[in-house]
Structure 1
Amino acid sequence: METNNQQQGKFGKWAKKSITARMLMVGILILVLMIPLTYIKSLIYERMLRQQEVVREINQKWGEEVLIYGPILKVPYKTYSEKTLRNTVTKVTRKETIENIKYAYFFPKKLNITSTINPEKKERGIYKTAVYKSNIHITGDFSKPDFSEIEIKDKDILWDKTRVIVQSSNLKGAASLFEIKFNNNKYQLTSKNFNNSTSSKLNHSKYLNLNELESNNLQLIDAPKEKEISFSMEINMKGSEQIRFIPIGKETDVNIKSNWKTANFIGEYLPHNSDKITAEGFNAKWRILDINRPFSQQYFKGIPNLKNYAFGVNFLIPVDEYQKSERSVKYGFLVIGLTFLVFFLIQTMSKISIHPFQYLMIGIALTMFYTLLISISEHSSYFKAYLIAGISVITLITAYSKSILKNNKFTLFIGISLTALYTFIFVIIQLENYALLVGSVGLFLILAAVMFASRKIDWENS
Structure 2
Amino acid sequence: MTSDTDKTFSEIPSGRFPSHRGYSLLNSPAAKFILIGFVTLMLMVPSTFVWVLVEERADRAREVARDIARSWGGTQEINGPYLVIPFTETFDVGLGEKRETKTVRRKVVLFPKKLDVSGDIVVEERQKSIYTLPVYNGRLSLKGRFETPPEGAFEPKHGGRIDIAADKAVLVVGIGDLRALKSEVALKLDGTREVPFEPGLESLVFNPENGSSHPQHASGINAGIPAADWRKGFTFEIPFQLNGSSAVFIAPAGQTTSVKLQSNWPHPGFTGAFLPETRNISDSGFDATWSIPYLARGIPKFQETKRLPLATRLIGVKFVEPVNFYQTISRSLKYAIGFISLTFLAVFVLEMRSGWRFHWIQYGLVGFALIIFYVMLLAFAEHVGYAPAYLIAAGAATVLNAVYVGTSLKSRFAGLVMFTVLACIFGVLFALMREQDYALLIGSVIAFVALAVTMFATQQIDWTGQRSERQPAENAPA
TM-score tier (shorter):
0.7 to 0.9
**Identical pairs, percent:** 30
For residues 259-282 of structure 1, what are the alpha-carbon distances to aligned partners after superposition, in whole Å with 9 as ceiling and x for unaligned?
A: 2222222211122235x3356422
Alignment of 1:128-277 (within 5 A): 128-148=132-152, 151=155, 156-183=163-190, 184-192=192-200, 204=210, 207=213, 209=215, 211-213=218-220, 215=222, 217-222=224-229, 224-225=230-231, 227-274=232-279, 276-277=280-281
Gaps of 5+ in 2: 1-19, 468-478
- Aligned counterparts of 1:301 and 1:24: Cα–Cα separation in 2: 68
When residues 96 and 344 of structure 1 are mapped into structure 2, their CA distance, relative to the original with a 3 A threshold, is: closer
Structure 2 partner of 1:306:
310
Structure 2 partner of 1:6:
none
Shift of 1:246: 0.8
When residues 188 and 411 of structure 1 are mapped into structure 2, their CA distance, relative to the original with a 3 A threshold, is: same
For residues 325-355 of structure 1, what are the alpha-carbon distances to aligned partners after superposition, in whole Å with 9 as ceiling and x for unaligned?
A: 1222222212222222222233333331222
- Aligned counterparts of 1:32 and 1:279: Cα–Cα separation in 2: 45
Q: Which runs of 4+ in 1 moved over 6 A?
A: none
Q: Is the CA contact 2:80–2:172 (under 8 Å) kept in the aligned structure 1?
A: yes
Q: Is the CA contact 2:124–2:135 (under 8 Å) kept in the aligned structure 1?
A: yes
Q: Is the CA contact 1:187–1:215 (under 8 Å) kept in the aligned structure 2?
A: no
For residues 144-191 of structure 1, what are the alpha-carbon distances to aligned partners after superposition, in whole Å with 9 as ceiling and x for unaligned?
A: 112525535998323222222221111010112332232444333323
Q: Is the CA contact 2:189–2:235 (under 8 Å) kept in the aligned structure 1?
A: yes
TM, length-normalised to structure 2? 0.84
Choose from 337, 341, 344 the match for 2:341. Answer: 337
Shift of 1:100: 4.1
The DSSP-based 3-state class of the residue aligned with 2:321 is coil
Shift of 1:298: 0.6
Which deviates the most, 184-193 or 238-247?
Answer: 184-193
Structure 2 partner of 1:113:
117
When residues 412 and 162 of structure 1 are mapped into structure 2, their CA distance, relative to the original with a 3 A threshold, is: closer
- Aligned counterparts of 2:22 and 2:419: Cα–Cα separation in 1: 31
Alignment of 1:442-457 (within 5 A): 442-457=446-461
- Aligned counterparts of 1:233 and 1:377: Cα–Cα separation in 2: 43
When residues 163 and 335 of structure 1 are mapped into structure 2, their CA distance, relative to the original with a 3 A threshold, is: closer
Q: Is the CA contact 2:402–2:416 (under 8 Å) kept in the aligned structure 1?
A: yes
The alignment covers a number of residue pairs equal to 440
- Aligned counterparts of 1:365 and 1:215: Cα–Cα separation in 2: 62
- Aligned counterparts of 1:130 and 1:208: Cα–Cα separation in 2: 24
Gaps of 5+ in 1: 1-9, 87-92
Choose from 349, 353, 356 the match for 1:349. Answer: 353
Q: Is the CA contact 1:69–1:166 (under 8 Å) kept in the aligned structure 2?
A: yes
Structure 1 partner of 2:376:
372
For residues 231-286 of structure 1, what are the alpha-carbon distances to aligned partners after superposition, in whole Å with 9 as ceiling and x for unaligned?
A: 22121111111111111111212221222222222211122235x33564222222
Shift of 1:371: 1.0
Choose from 404, 420, 424 the match for 1:420. Answer: 424
Q: Is the CA contact 1:66–1:168 (under 8 Å) kept in the aligned structure 2?
A: yes
Structure 2 partner of 1:90:
none
Choose from 6, 17, 21 the match for 2:31. Answer: 21
TM, length-normalised to structure 1? 0.86
- Aligned counterparts of 1:67 and 1:268: Cα–Cα separation in 2: 14
Query: AA paired with 1:18?
Result: S
Q: Is the CA contact 1:114–1:137 (under 8 Å) kept in the aligned structure 2?
A: yes
Structure 1 partner of 2:8:
none
Output the aligned Cα RMSD.
Answer: 2.9
Q: Is the CA contact 1:169–1:209 (under 8 Å) kept in the aligned structure 2?
A: no
Shift of 1:99: 4.3
When residues 350 and 154 of structure 1 are mapped into structure 2, their CA distance, relative to the original with a 3 A threshold, is: same
Choose from 430, 433, 437 the match for 1:429. Answer: 433
When residues 343 and 296 of structure 1 are mapped into structure 2, their CA distance, relative to the original with a 3 A threshold, is: same
Which deviates the most, 16-25 or 34-43?
Answer: 16-25
For residues 373-427 of structure 1, what are the alpha-carbon distances to aligned partners after superposition, in whole Å with 9 as ceiling and x for unaligned?
A: 1111111232222221122112111222233111222222222222222222222
Structure 1 partner of 2:363:
359
Q: Is the CA contact 1:137–1:233 (under 8 Å) kept in the aligned structure 2?
A: yes
- Aligned counterparts of 2:446 and 2:193: Cα–Cα separation in 1: 71
Q: Is the CA contact 1:105–1:303 (under 8 Å) kept in the aligned structure 2?
A: no
Q: Is the CA contact 1:104–1:302 (under 8 Å) kept in the aligned structure 2?
A: no
- Aligned counterparts of 2:283 and 2:374: Cα–Cα separation in 1: 37
